Structure 1
Amino acid sequence: MTDTNSQLRIDIVSDVMCPWCIIGYRQLAVALEASDVDHEIHWHPFELNPNMPPEGQDIGEHLAEKYGTTPEQSEANRAMMTARGKELGFEFNFADGFRMHNTFNTHQLLHWANEVGRKNDLKQALFAAHFTDGRNLSDDAELVEIAGEIGLDQVEAKAVLDDQRFANAVRQQQQFWMQQGINGVPAMVFDRQHLVTGAQGAEAYESILTQLKDIRV
């Protein structure tokens, strides 16, 4: 049984290319604040597009190619996500030319940031860099700059990306979560046993947290 005095562990499998990941996280944050649950969040890597080339791809072209999304559907979806983000204090800027990027190196940088206790900070900075500022997360120099902007050591960040020291560790983590049946994100696991997929909404997350409070004895 779970000790009621322990923190609630929340594992979040996500990719910084995933708009619903930041929406879901922001919804969860609202629910956590309302529920006043003592918790710890652990981020885990997932690549939506592991075969994405370094130059990335226009988002409209990408969605049409991968999902068969029409331009009208894509525009409507982006408008909906922008509205959801605004409600949660996050700004989406889907300007013309907005591109999707390969994120394997972002996950390696996040792995490194975890070792110095700054993974969540870097994760949020990367979400904003991509969706708000339209920065190229395929560009290692850009990633190093973003790390520096939140106070991380840029020299060490560059070394991490240059020597790919965490490549195997990231691939192993990705494989682990795929073996658990995770094939889409966001995927959140509460207390190592309750899986919730997709951005469910703050009220739904609050209900989940309330139920967990009742059963954690």
Structure 2
Amino acid sequence: MATSDPPPIVQIDVVSDVVCPWCVIGFRQLDAALKQENILARLRWHPFELNPAMGPEGQNLREHIVEKYGSTPEQSKQAREKLTSLGAELGFAFNFDDDSRIVNTFAAHQLLHWAETQERQHPLKLALFDAYFTQQRDVSEIEVLMAAIEAAGLDTAKAQEALLSGAHAGTVREKQTFWTSRGISGVPSMVFGGKYLLTGAQGTDAYTQILQRCLTEAA
């Protein structure tokens, strides 16, 4: 009896930062498109730091947005309300308040690179999103990172060793340079099938269209 060919799997490379709310929105929209169309995908997360010079003390989020983007406090508040509403529609809880902080994410990216070698990168990325945006925890702190590691089903002792050794720092820097040298200056940036780039959270319909295009070409 003849067997049917397995369905094609779409490769999706997502350049993203752990503290980027639009990366959460974009992923949730993409995930909805994949489930809606019953499409199989292989997701790989790649490092991007929105604030590579951010010090270990972090900065108040509202102050940071005003300082970096020139937004007024009212505009910043409206943006957070919009994100909270969009997140709720997509099943994700953003819990912003006046004490929310932006933090350095280089350690998180090193652990994400290590987690990829353990085939648990995607669960760790989602755990870090949850820790930062929903639980309002500082994802530059070692205990918070280790809680995310545990939530992703990874070995905390091995993860801590990988982080403290600095073994993955150079590779993360190389990956960041790779993407920025190719014109990536904002996130999320998603590359579909190694060919098509979509930047920003484009919406479920846009992701559905590009996924279908990749499948058509694969067929």
Q: Give the TM-score normalised by structure 2.
A: 0.94
What displacement does 1:153 show?
1.0
1:135 and 2:137 equivalent?
Answer: yes
In 1, Cα distance between equivalents of 2:181 and 2:6: 29
Query: Could you tell me how far apart the structure 2 residues matched to 1:41 and 1:145 are?
Result: 23
Contact 1:4 1:216 in 2 (8 A): no
1:100 aligns with 2:102: yes
Structure 2 CA distance for aligned equivalents of residues 92 and 105 of structure 1: 22
Q: In structure 2, what is the equivalent of residue 81 of structure 1?
A: 83
1:146 aligned to 148, 151, 157, which one? 148
SS in 2 for 1:8: strand
Give yes or no for contact 1:137–1:143 (8 Å, CA) kept in 2.
Answer: yes
Say if 1:16 and 1:103, in contact at 8 Å, map to a contact too.
yes
| Pairwise CA distance, 1:161 | 1.7
Q: CA deviation at 1:5?
A: 5.2
* Alpha-carbon displacement from aligned partner over 1:51-103 (angstroms, at most 9, x marks no partner): 00001111111011110011110010000000100011100000221000100
Identity %: 49
C-alpha contact 1:58 1:98 (8 A) present in aligned 2 = yes
- Give the deviation of 1:4 after TM superposition: 9.1
Conserved 8 A contact 1:140-1:161: no
Residues 118 and 195 of structure 1: is their aligned pair in 2 closer, same or farther, counting only changes over 3 Å? same
CA–CA separation in structure 2 for the residues paired with 1:216 and 1:187: 22
TM-score (norm 1): 0.95
How many residues are paired up? 215
The aligned counterpart of 2:178 is 176
Point out where structure 2 has 5 or more consecutive residues left out of the alignment: none
Farther off after superposition, 139-148 or 168-177? 139-148
Q: Would the aligned equivalents of 2:94 and 2:133 in 1 still touch at CA under 8 Å?
A: yes
Q: Which runs of no fewer than 5 residues in structure 1 stay unpaired?
A: none
Deviation at residue 210 of structure 1 after TM alignment: 2.1
Give the secondary structure class of the aligned counterpart of 1:73: helix
Q: 1:192 aligns with which of 179, 191, 194?
A: 194
Which residue number in structure 2 is paired with residue 155 of structure 1? 157
Aligned-partner residue type, residue 126 of structure 1: L
Q: Which residues of 2 match residues 21-32 of structure 1 at below 5 A?
A: 21-32=23-34
Distance in 2 between residues matched to 1:161 and 1:155, nearest whole Å = 10
| Equivalent residues in 2 for 1:49-68, closer than 5 Å | 49-68=51-70
Residue of structure 2 aligned with 1:42, choices 41, 44, 59: 44
Give SS of 1:40's match. Answer: strand
Q: Secondary structure at the match of 1:181?
A: coil
**Partner-residue secondary structure (3-state), 2:46:** strand
**CA apart distance, 1:215:** 3.0
Secondary structure of 2:153's counterpart equals: coil
Q: Is the 8 A contact 1:160 1:166 kept in 2?
A: yes
